[in-house]
Amino acid sequence: MSYELIEKLKEQYKNSEKWYSLRWHYIEGCILKAYLDSYEQTGHEEDYQFVKQFIDRLVDENGDVEQIDINYYSIDQIRMTAILFTLYDKEKDSRYKKVIDLIYKQLETYPRTESGNFWHKSNYPHQIWMDGLYMGQPFYVQYIKEFEVNKDYSDTLNQFRQARKLLFDEETQLYYHAYDESRKMFWSDKESGLSPHVWGRAVGWYVMALVDILELLEGENVDTSELKDLLTEAVDGMLRYQHYSGMWYQVVEFSGRKGNYLESSGTLMLSYALLKGARLGYLSSEYITFGKAAFDGTVEHYVTVEHGEVLLGGICKSAGLGTHPETGVVRNGDYEYYISGEPIVTNNGHGVAPLLMAYNEIKLLINSRVPS
């Protein structure tokens, strides 16, 4: 398959703020990570400068970020902060380190469930969302690796272990979107505490977290076999539901049900995890076939050109649980909510970021197969 349109999308996307905002937000953090990964693989300075210039409009000369509220606990704001490790390593600018230290310090008082997992946010108390493992844990691990004398990763290992215990369904071999230990939320099952369904992107966040953390822990004095087993188990469970196109449905366990749709962002996150996991040896090489099928299937199904602009469609704009803190919209997590309660959009960062992350892996795969 030709990937010229993906190259064009990559260039168009960073040169226009039409599709994203200048904000300290996890979506923009994921977009920037995709370009940083590309820079680290290719050395293309334009990708690095895009990231640096974006960050430098948010971090002032004193190393303060107006959009960070240190008194508000949100696992989401940690994702963006992880971008600063690469910038600090390259620039040695103390402003970046100040922000990194600020967010790491907050983890000391971050509220937790009884299982030891970070709450998703202050306004989502006692809750574990699969999304949160990607938002917080890679940053947590990287800080310990780079700056702590006592490199103890047991907290992260336990949080993944507990997520598996609380959110994994043995029968379907799938992870539910979220868990409420209080059983008080209207969306949670009163016996299990679980949300009603398996959302593809939630599992995508989870497996991306696993492969990124495993990469960070290379060479560290820690047994990562448990994380590798969790990765294999999670992707094997999802592969049981992979559509013949290579994609996954929005509500995974109801693949093919009326109203359900093949969703881009979750599929591309799984593609990234499968390809990267196989490249680094956390998964066997046979998983490359499934990861590439997911990527190619999404490109074939949803990448189009309109008025000279490359577009990625089929993206769930957002999905959460409980009452939205800004809009007041009530999200009960039932089937109808996931398929019609949130808009399906084009070129949203939730989809473009993993598209570009997975594309970085596709390029490495192609290059590894080119005869010398």
The residues assigned a catalytic role are: 131
Pick the closest to residue 272 from 294, 304, 246, 241 (CA basis).
294
Q: What angle do CA 119, 217, 242 make, to 5 degrees?
A: 70
Q: How far apart are CA 206 and CA 151, in angstroms?
A: 23
Strands (E) across the chain are located at: 127-129, 168-169, 174-175, 178-180, 248-249, 262-263, 303-306, 309-312, 315-316, 322-323, 330-331, 344-345
Q: How far apart are CA 125 and CA 185, in angstroms?
A: 10
First-to-last C-alpha distance (Å) of the chain: 21
Q: How far apart are CA 150 and CA 144, in angstroms?
A: 8
320, burial (CB in 10 Å: exposed 0-12, middle 13-18, buried 19+): buried
Report whether 343 contacts 256 (CB < 8 A): no
Q: What is the dihedral of CA 136, 142, 146, 149, to 10 degrees?
A: 70
What tokens were used for 366? 């192609």
